[in-house]
Amino acid sequence: MKIQPIKKTVLELCAGGGGQFLGLEAAGFDCVGAVEIEESYCRTLNYNRPELNVINHDLKHFDAKGFYGVDLVAGGVPCPPFSIAGKQLGQEDDRDLFPYALKIVKQTDPKAVLLENVPGLSSSKFDSYRKEIQGKLSEMGYWSDWKILNASDFRVPQLRPRFILVAVKKDKKNGFEWPKPFSKKITVGEALFDLMSENGWMGVDGWSQKANDVGPTLVGGSKKHGGPDLGPTRARMQWRKLGVDGLGIADSAPEIKFPNDALPRLTVRMTARIQGFPDAWHFPGRKTSSYRQIGNAFPPPVAKAVSLQILETIQEI
């Protein structure tokens, strides 16, 4: 009888609507706990994976000692402290959860760490803060590195650059390599053709030819400032060039006689496809909440690509 290898385990922080979870799962990790503060996000995780250990908790007050020895700690810590759309207060922002993530790393002593954030954290303004984070990881016995990865390089039909931190135990530092980009990008037209045509829209061929590039980064927004649209004015202008009306989210695909000279809006399912979510992953609840979960997610294909490299690195530990 062939013995199946034991899966590597992961504790996920700030799990959100499941983007990173799906990437970790696809790479072969077994998620033993998913910590998330927002109840609507927890409902999505529970709806899609009833067996998942979803922990509705504030990371600032989460005690992770019960997860000591987990193989990987991964998380998408909130981005507002470093986003160019905000005040970029960094560690002065009370929403900065990096210190709490590092506390959990110390409590659990994982073989590896994966944390993702916005590209704004890579700016020179935060040089000393990044060095401080890496210094603390080094004190705990980890080698670490940062890198910006574009989702469009991993068959996701939008740009979505993310700044990613990977840390592994120092004796394995030479084993980790960042994932290599795919040679071919997927365009918005290719990704959404079947969804745009599901109601028989006669103009879908012409639309797909116009939507012949990757889209700009989806912006999910926050409870206070986020609405069901595709982001700020600049992003909506870019969507317009691709034949998409970015002022809102549609309830359904264009009907058969939808005017060929009009711009269709994306549905929630279309935005999920643009973010790299599989169609089988559902977002129960209202449209605005669902879109916010999608727009704030870590694209599953990118999470998978990085997780596979981590898995290969720690496999022998």
Q: Which residues are catalytic?
A: 79
CA pair distance 186, 245, nearest whole angstrom = 20
Contacts of 156 (CB under 8 A, 6+ apart): 186, 214, 274, 275, 276, 299, 301, 302
Partners of 255 in the β-ladder: 200
Q: What is the distance between the alpha carbons of residues 84 and 231, in angstroms, rounded to a whole number?
A: 14
- Alpha carbons within 13 angstroms on the beta-carbon side of residue 121 total 27
Q: Which residues contact 145 (CB under 8 A, 6 or more apart)?
A: 165, 166, 167, 176, 178
Q: Which residue has the tokens 């506390």?
A: 103
Residues in the chain: 317
Produce one character per residue of 260-291: b if its CB has 16 or more CB atoms within 10 Å, e if not.
eeebbbbbbbbbbbbbbbeeebebebeebbbb
Rounded to whole angstroms, how far apart are CA atoms 87 and 26?
36
**Nearest CA-CA partner of 11 in 78, 91, 106:** 106
Report how far residue 96's alpha carbon sits from residue 307's, in angstroms, rounded to the nearest whole number. Answer: 24
Strand partners, 200: 255
**CA angle 213-24-129, nearest 5°?**
80
